[in-house]
Amino acid sequence: MVGPAQERSHSFARSRHDRLAHRRDDPEWLDARWSDPDAAVLVVGADAVAMDGDDLRRVPAAQAPPGERVLLGSVDDRTSLAVIVDQVPPELHPEPVRAAGGRLDATQGALLVHAVGLANWHATHPRCARCGERTEIAQAGHVRRCPACSALHFPRTDPAVIMLVTDEADRALLGRHASWPPQRYSTLAGFVEPGETLEDAVRREVLEEVGIAVTDVTYAGSQPWPFPSSLMVGFFAAARSASIQVDGSEIADARWFTRAEVRALTGSGSLVLPGLVSISRWLIEGWHGDGLSGTW
């Protein structure tokens, strides 16, 4: 069996920033931060971020491009601000968010997913869901308010379950999406439906995708994945049978792998696992027991 306690952490797992929620409605304090010549501002779009080598680029507030101003919080008493833009200007060295995120330390990674989650939400929720009026940003970027009906709208997070299933022989079940290249395999995953517990979602998704009933659904850890708005909730689960019947639409193939097979196949390149940034990879390595080669 696999234990949930694993020393190695996946990306975006350990937030160290104080979100300063009590300051979001303090315009004087916010104005002072934005006019502070030493203030450092991240520049973030829905799918790109300004980078400075392997670090987030921080620009003086006076030089930040126009956009929605948000407060991320503070790290070691240093305030972190961000400007959300439609497009990161080329002179600020934009990079795709996922590629950049994989190179950041835990603190910067947490700031990035906070900012990107807000950027994606603002980009796709410009109007009031109740009356259709155009909404206004409030609470330093963490609320949208409707001027017509006064409704307050909060950033949404969509929970998804992701699970490493093992059988009696302690083999791992990995599947391949229909749209993926032939060598690419990963843990199963799916969105939680209304009225469903996380554990129910694990059992339903595994049954739907590969026809296997699972038991002993055990929480392992979670990972914000704001592309656009997911929270990946990781589990281990035990299969009650080994007979696989793939659904044939979402999942094209699924197989049981021993540790030796995973090691040999990733080494030869005939099995390609998820990237190191993902909780899927973390679950697989938690089962496997040590580092593996092969990423995408």
State in angstroms the smallest separation of the CB of 127 from Zn ion. 8
Q: Which is nearer to Zn ion, 148 or 178 (CB)?
A: 148
Yes or no: say if 151 and 128 are a contact pair by the CB < 8 Å rule: yes
Handedness of CA 157, 160, 161, 162 (dihedral sign): negative
Binding site for Zn ion (CB under 5 A): 128, 130-131, 133, 146, 148-149, 151
Q: For the chain, how many residues are written?
A: 296
Closer by beta carbon to Zn ion, 99 or else 152: 152
DSSP strand pairing (158-166 vs 230-239): parallel
Find out whether the peptide bond into 60 is cis, omega within 30 degrees of 0: no
Is 148 or 242 the residue whose CB approaches Zn ion more closely? 148
Question: At its nearest, how many Å lie between Zn ion and the CB of residue 121?
Answer: 17
Q: Decide: 141 and 126 in contact? Cβ < 8 Å.
A: no
Least distance CB 138 / Zn ion (angstroms): 13
Going 94 to 95 to 100 to 101, the CA torsion angle's sign is positive
CB of 116 to Zn ion, least distance (A): 26
Among 33, 95, 23, smallest CA distance to 64 is for: 33
The distance of closest approach from Cβ of residue 86 to Zn ion in the complex, given in angstroms and rounded to an integer, is 24
Pick between residue 133 and residue 168 the one whose CB is nearest to Zn ion: 133
Contact (Cβ atoms closer than 8 angstroms) between residue 116 and residue 83: no
For the bound state, the minimum distance from the C-beta of residue 151 to Zn ion, rounded and expressed in Å, comes to: 5
Helix, strand, or coil here: 232? strand
Q: Which is nearer to Zn ion, 132 or 289 (CB)?
A: 132
User: Between residues 135 and 223, which has the closer beta carbon with respect to Zn ion?
Assistant: 135
d(CA 272, CA 274): 7
